[in-house]
Amino acid sequence: MQAILATLGYVLSADGTRVLMIHRDTRPDDLHFGRYNGLGGKLEPDEDVCAGMCREIGEEAGITCERLELAGTISWPGFGREGENWFGFVFRVPAWSGTPRRTNPEGTLEWVEVADLLAGKLPLWGGDAHFLPLVFGSTRQFHAVMPYADGRPTGWSYSQL
């Protein structure tokens, strides 16, 4: 399978109760429009996943990652606008420095309660409810596959070894 390699990061508050999310509310043509999402994006050809995660967080939030924790990986076959396959490296960011921006070209940055995120109180991608408990509720890495069709997940499976 050929896939677009990407990062997805969840920047945590110092006490771990809140997470910095982007509310994709800027461009109506955005595939993610109206949803909340972690920070991240496509890897550049010349960077490793940690460098890519740190670059994306710097670009999107204006902060510097001090520590990353790989929560897991997810294969999203059929996720893209044209049915592209995506493969994501999902990180927690428990240590960072700087002052987060309030906005960026993709939307508004907001601190949200992790409990609200896990309770489904925010508009998210349909499949996020499957993996967010693994990101925030476990220190064990997970490795998952979540096929998509027509903008919706059609399955979910994961391993934690």
**42-82, pLDDT tens digit by residue?**
999 999 999 999 999 999 999 999 999 999 999 999 987 78
**96-132, pLDDT tens digit by residue?**
999 999 999 999 999 999 999 999 999 998 899 999 9
Strand pairing report for 86-97 and 4-12: parallel
CB 100 within 8 A of CB 61: yes
CATH classification at residue 58: 3.90.79.10
Residue-number span of the structural domain to which 148 is assigned: 4-159
Start-to-end CA distance of the chain, whole Å, equals: 23
Provide the whole-model pTM.
0.95
**Number of independent structural domains in the chain:** 1
Q: What average pLDDT does the structure give for the chain?
A: 94
